Amino acid sequence: MKVMSLRFLKAMLAVICLMALSAGEVPAKVMAPDFVALAEKLKPTVVNISTSKSPAQTARPRRQPSPFNDPFHDFFDRFFDEAPRRQQRERSLGSGFIISDQGFIITNNHVVAGADEIKVRLSDGREFKAELKGADEKLDLALIKIESKDQLPVASLGNSDEIKVGEWVMAIGNPFGLAQTVTAGIVSATGRVIGSGPYDDFIQTDASINPGNSGGPLFSAEGKVIGINTAIIAGGQGIGFAIPINMAKDVIPQLEEKGKVIRGWLGVTVQPITPDLARSFGLDGERGALIADVVKDGPAAKAGLKSGDIVLEFDGKKIREMNELPRIVAATPVGKAAPVKVLRDGKVQDVEVSVGRLADAGDEADQKNGEDKLGMAVRELTRDLAARMGLKETQGVVVTGVKSGSLAGEAGILPGDIVREIGGRPIATLADYEAAIRAVKKGDVVRFLLRRGGGNHFLAIRVE
């Protein structure tokens, strides 16, 4: 009798489940999609990207003269002194996906950065040379373009704001050079901050992502791109990160039109709200972004925002946690009068801020001088510029741009480096820098003392 009752209960549960499915009570997204059909449909929209870069040629070190007056030794000595050292071209692999029938392709900036040749291979075996149309280091995005006489398959872009943890996703890419590899999993988390940049807001997934997947698409169960696979944790398994596609949508038009991204700027330093801080400010819950400091004469200062204000809303969008404010401000058009709700002295107040423009280290419009003979551009550092670039120092000369393949670039000088000395000569002003650079001659080996990341760093540049 007990056995019959157990069988009866199991049968009833099965019937209830079937009725629930037929009634649509279980969302279709949760059920496993037809990955075979999805792969067949979506693979043509995904491309494999290979890049190459010519390394700088360096001379071989001189050999010691032969003590035996050996003519063969002297011949090889002259030969090797005069011949450049042969080095292999630097190569990298990545992925991307076609977003328009005009041949525009999205990938990661780190896949194509510094490349002097970009090749794109389609799923049908066709290869094209690609042109870099624009790049955004802060989001790690790049827009490249190929020219094709035939119609190209295009990936549909979804809405990453609507995805939920637990939804099925599929990744297609070029891991370890294994073209058109398909992996599947679920959305493990959203809004992940992993410290890769100022606008971290990653989708985490357990779909297998490896080196070479970078720049490839993360598809939803409906076959739409919801993310751009970008990062993994070294040594981790089932932990991959993708840039939400909605963040890319905001910058793609600028990359196509201008080749770079212009972002909004508020001119504040913010910090998260802890439980104790929330109670001390009379705030119900840990929400908002606490303003710790305000840049003098910046947009926030001009609007009357103060240290100690808690930003609850910006331009109609609620600020649930501190990291959301920089992303929202950055996406706001420059010059827009944005309404802001702040908590001040226990009361909610409305303020209007005219959004400023965030300085870009490579922005030529914001540089006082062009690239010099070493291939870098610099500016005299001010408090305002330091705040915009996130630098602690407020005096000196800062590198605002480095030309790819230049002497400065090959030596490892980076935008944001502060030049302290050149050849032992202190550099405090732009005039000091320009005088030191004018004194550099061909054949010199110039020693730089840089301030980078809170510490000193020496570099030497051989002027060829």
What digits encode the pLDDT tens for the residues 198-219?
788 899 999 999 989 999 999 9
Instruction: Report yes or no on 52 lying in a domain.
Output: no
Nearest to 231 by CA among 147, 307, 140, 159: 140
Torsion angles phi and psi, residue 121, rounded to 5: -115, 125
Last residue of a domain, one of 221, 238, 258: 258
Nearest to 448 by CA among 421, 427, 411: 421
Last residue of a domain, one of 361, 390, 414: 361
The mean pLDDT value for 69-97 works out to 57
Is the pLDDT score of 22 beyond 70? no
Q: Which has more confidence, 403 or 454? A: 403
**Candidates 208, 214, 220, 406; catalytic one:** 214
The mean pLDDT value for 243-262 works out to 92
Torsion of CA 31, 37, 41, 43, to 10 degrees: 90
Q: Assess whether 447 and 415 both reside in one domain.
A: yes
Please, what sign has the CA dihedral across residues 419, 199, 196, 370?
negative
Q: How confident is the model at residue 368 (pLDDT cuts 50, 70, 90)?
A: very low
The mean pLDDT value for 128-138 works out to 93
Instruction: Identify the top-confidence range among 85-94, 236-245, 390-399.
Output: 236-245
Q: Which has more confidence, 53 or 450? A: 450
Q: How confident is the model at residue 252 (pLDDT cuts 50, 70, 90)?
A: very high
| Res 14: pLDDT | 56
Q: Which has more confidence, 70 or 261? A: 261
What is the DSSP code string of 346-409? TEEEEEEEE-EE---TT-GGG-SS---TTSEEEEE--HHHHHHHT-S--SSEEEEEE-TTSHHH
Is the pLDDT score of 147 beyond 90? yes
| Res 30: pLDDT | 52
Q: Assess whether 417 and 350 both reside in one domain.
A: no
Is the pLDDT score of 10 beyond 80? no
Q: Assess whether 277 and 201 both reside in one domain.
A: no
CA distances from 401 to 140, 189, 356, 360 (A): 17, 36, 21, 9
Parent domain of 274: 264-361
Instruction: Report yes or no on 88 lying in a domain.
Output: no
Instruction: Report yes or no on 386 lying in a domain.
Output: yes
| Res 19: pLDDT | 60
Q: Assess whether 449 and 408 both reside in one domain.
A: yes
Nearest to 62 by CA among 52, 72, 76: 76
| Whole-angstrom distance, CA of residue 296 vs CA of residue 305 | 11
Is the pLDDT score of 302 beyond 90? yes
Q: Assess whether 234 and 301 both reside in one domain.
A: no
Is-catalytic flag, 110? yes
**Candidates 95, 110, 200, 406; catalytic one:** 110
| Whole-angstrom distance, CA of residue 381 vs CA of residue 360 | 14
CB burial class (10 A; 0-12, 13-18, 19+) of residue 19? exposed
| Res 55: pLDDT | 58
Rg of the chain, C-alpha, whole Å: 28
Q: Assess whether 331 and 411 both reside in one domain.
A: no
Of 21-35, 169-183, 213-227, 302-316, where does mean pLDDT reach its minimum?
21-35
Instruction: Report yes or no on 60 lying in a domain.
Output: no
| Whole-angstrom distance, CA of residue 9 vs CA of residue 16 | 11
| Res 388: pLDDT | 62
Count: domains in the chain: 3
We report the CATH number of the domain holding residue 280 as 2.30.42.10
Of 4-8, 148-152, 415-419, 459-463, where does mean pLDDT reach its minimum?
4-8
Q: How confident is the model at residue 12 (pLDDT cuts 50, 70, 90)?
A: low
Residue type, 230: T
**Tens-place pLDDT, residues 423-440:** 888 998 888 888 888 888
Q: Assess whether 250 and 283 both reside in one domain.
A: no
**Candidates 140, 309, 360, 372; catalytic one:** 140
Is the pLDDT score of 57 beyond 50? no
We report the CATH number of the domain holding residue 171 as 2.40.10.10
| Whole-angstrom distance, CA of residue 31 vs CA of residue 438 | 68
Residue type, 262: I
Q: Assess whether 277 and 350 both reside in one domain.
A: yes
Is-catalytic flag, 280? no
Instruction: Report yes or no on 347 lying in a domain.
Output: yes
Report field, pTM of the whole predicted structure over 0.85: no
| Res 224: pLDDT | 97
| Whole-angstrom distance, CA of residue 171 vs CA of residue 174 | 10
Q: Assess whether 346 and 271 both reside in one domain.
A: yes
Q: Assess whether 268 and 354 both reside in one domain.
A: yes
Is-catalytic flag, 372? no
Q: Which has more confidence, 235 or 269? A: 269
Partners of 171 in the β-ladder: 183, 218
Mean pLDDT across the chain: 83
Q: Where are the alpha helices (DSSP H) in 94-205?
A: 109-112
Of 51-55, 293-297, 329-333, 378-382, where does mean pLDDT reach its minimum?
51-55
Q: How confident is the model at residue 15 (pLDDT cuts 50, 70, 90)?
A: low
Last residue of a domain, one of 258, 290, 312: 258
